[in-house]
Structure 1
Amino acid sequence: MNNDQIAGKWKQLKGEAKILWGKLTDDELDVAEGNRDKLAGLIQERYGKTKEQAEEEVKKFFDKV
């Protein structure tokens, strides 16, 4: 799924992201708007993960959907 498709379906995907990363608020997910870098940054900050770990989680999430 490319970035345009993700942005278009973000409202639907946001629910799945909320299940995976429950510490992220709805407002934070709205700010991310399906942007991989923003989402990885939020995960890194909220969960204390390395940049590489967060990016890998986001990659797996978007590859799955």
Structure 2
Amino acid sequence: MINVTRLNGKSFALNALYIESVEAFPDTLITLTTGRKYVVLEEIDEVNAQIILFYKQVQVLSNPHIRGENDEE
């Protein structure tokens, strides 16, 4: 999960596995794979850093196939 803040100042957590895109309009807009959208106070770089940290914590990025590495050559 990543922690973000709504424009009204209330914090909440999102499951980063469901994030499809993160855009700036100039507010940061997070779109989930369900189509649900959230506008948050955090800058896009901060959201991206939290997503990467989450992926590392759950070891999503530890699989060489996901990273694009292939032992078969």
TM-score tier (shorter): 0.3 to 0.5
Higher strand residue share? 2
Higher helix residue share? 1
Q: Larger relative CO (CA 8 A, sep 6+): 1 or 2?
A: 1
Question: Which structure has the larger Rg over C-alpha atoms?
Answer: 2
Structure-2-length-normalised TM-score? 0.34
Structure-1-length-normalised TM-score? 0.37
